[in-house]
Amino acid sequence: MVEDLLFTPFQLGRFTVKNRLGVAPMTRMSSVRDSIPRRDVLDFLVTRAKNGAGIVYTEAIVTDYESAQGYPGQARITTQRQIDVWSRVVENIRRHGAVSIMQIFHCGRMAWPAVNPAGRVIAPSAVSPQQDNPLTGQPYPIPEVMSRFDIGHVIAGFVETARGAMAAGFDGVEIHGAHGYLISQFLSAYSNQRTDAYGGTVERRYRFAREVIQAVRPMVPEERLLLFRISNWGVADSQISLFADADEYQEIIGRLSREPIDALSVSTYRYSDPAFDSGRTMARLTREATSLPILICGQIHDRASAVDALRDAEIALSAKTALLNPDWVEEMRAGKAMPRYSAADANVAYTTEPLP
Ligand SMILES: Cc1cc2nc3c(=O)[nH]c(=O)nc-3n(C[C@H](O)[C@H](O)[C@H](O)COP(=O)(O)O)c2cc1C
């Protein structure tokens, strides 16, 4: 029998991931009280593990009570109650044989100030996205420029949140460096116009990401996983290329490769699109610049696209397909015809109706 690549286990750090299919991080905006997601939203993660996913990511967990939250109803993990709730989710994901990863995030200039208890909007520079915030219908506020003190404070939030994730028993933590949120804002000259040690050259723009990784790693024991997510696109002004060219992107990947991380997760709009003017995909460009395992995401919706995406990656992540189709792993195994869902289809993520 021909080996089925999608169902060949992969060794990620000390974990054997049972197949190559994972549930991408998805914010569900469901926490009405105490920064804890709704029960059915937590159950959704367990159901996806039960139905065969090799890796299950949580939604992006905000790293402080002050300026990290970008959307209503996001979750945190800095109280014992939050830890206890998540630890039951982790146990159940593990019982079904999947690896659990908590994603941790600070939104930076993408903030909706009303949802942060302290109401602050902070970013590398006083530059807001060009487009309006689709959730408020208003322009994004001009952010306050982060001082050195703010930088240290925000890093402490990442550390504390990683500590919460470890206390809850997660197999790993992912630092969200993608999609135009805070870390991505530092990495990109589009949003980082600083003239101090955190802005200017690629090395300087990279410094904040490095400091976050270096501070978080001691919280994550060697036998667990630390991952970093990156993208060349942001949720706001999505047409803008966040990196100048393939060389700049690959320089950042090279720098990330020298950090104590276990894998890189690359988020694309469509995994097969050529990036920059290189004629190569984001996964291919990443592969050329690192020997770290790569997780790839972006319209991987059926068996053919998953197999194709794994040419330059180890694990294929799905967001919309995993959200809308509870049986996606088995349907991929069977090679069943599967639809490509639209962003509008994914709005079910924000309804209160439990997903199957
Ligand atoms: C409802 C929804 C919520 C999302 N929330 C997050 C998030 O919290 N963190 C993140 O890194 N990406 C988030 N994403 C992006 C996805 O992880 C993924 O990168 C993107 O949707 C492309 O994958 P797809 O084509 O399989 O949907 C979200 C996507 C959707 C549809």
pLDDT in tens, the chain (356 residues): 457 999 999 999 999 999 999 999 999 999 999 999 999 999 999 999 999 999 999 999 999 999 999 999 999 999 999 999 999 999 999 999 999 999 999 999 999 888 888 889 999 999 999 999 999 999 999 999 999 999 999 999 999 999 999 999 999 999 999 999 999 999 999 999 999 999 999 999 999 999 999 999 999 999 999 999 999 999 999 999 999 999 999 999 999 999 999 999 999 999 999 999 999 999 999 999 999 999 999 999 999 999 999 999 999 999 999 999 999 999 999 999 999 999 999 999 999 999 99
What's the Cα-to-Cα distance from 41 to each of 4, 27, 89, rounded to whole Å?
A: 31, 10, 10
What pLDDT digit, counting tens, does each position of 250-308 carry?
A: 999 999 999 999 999 999 999 999 999 999 999 999 999 999 999 999 999 999 999 99
Query: How many angstroms separate the CA atoms of 108 and 167, rounded?
Result: 26
Q: How many CA atoms lie within 13 A of 89 on its CB side?
A: 31
Cβ-contact 9, 19 below 8 angstroms: yes
How big is the CA angle at 69 (ends 68 and 70), to the nearest 5 degrees? 120
Beta strands in the chain (DSSP E): 10-12, 15-17, 21-23, 55-62, 99-105, 122-123, 132-133, 138-139, 144-145, 172-176, 225-231, 263-267, 274-275, 280-281, 294-297, 315-318
State the distance from the centre of ligand 1 to the C-alpha of 177, rounded, in angstroms: 13
What's the Cα-to-Cα distance from 56 to each of 24, 67, 102, rounded to whole Å?
A: 7, 27, 9
Burial of residue 46, with CB atoms counted within 10 A of its CB: 0-12 exposed, 13-18 middle, 19 or more buried: buried
Ligand 1 atom showing the smallest separation from residue 350 Cα? 1
Which phi and psi angles does 90 have, rounded to 5°? -60, -45
Cβ-contact 70, 107 below 8 angstroms: yes
| Length reported for the chain | 356
Asked whether the whole model's pTM tops 0.95, one would answer: yes
- Residue 27: CB within 6 Å of ligand 1? yes
Cβ-contact 180, 234 below 8 angstroms: yes
Cβ-contact 197, 191 below 8 angstroms: no
- Residue 287: CB within 6 Å of ligand 1? no
Query: How many angstroms separate the CA atoms of 348 and 343, rounded?
Result: 10
- Residue 296: CB within 6 Å of ligand 1? no
Q: Go through the domains of the chain in sequence order and give each one's CATH number.
A: 5-350 (3.20.20.70)
- Residue 298: CB within 6 Å of ligand 1? yes
Positive or negative CA dihedral for 190, 109, 58, 136?
negative
State the distance from the centre of ligand 1 to the C-alpha of 1, rounded, in angstroms: 35
State the distance from the centre of ligand 1 to the C-alpha of 25, rounded, in angstroms: 6
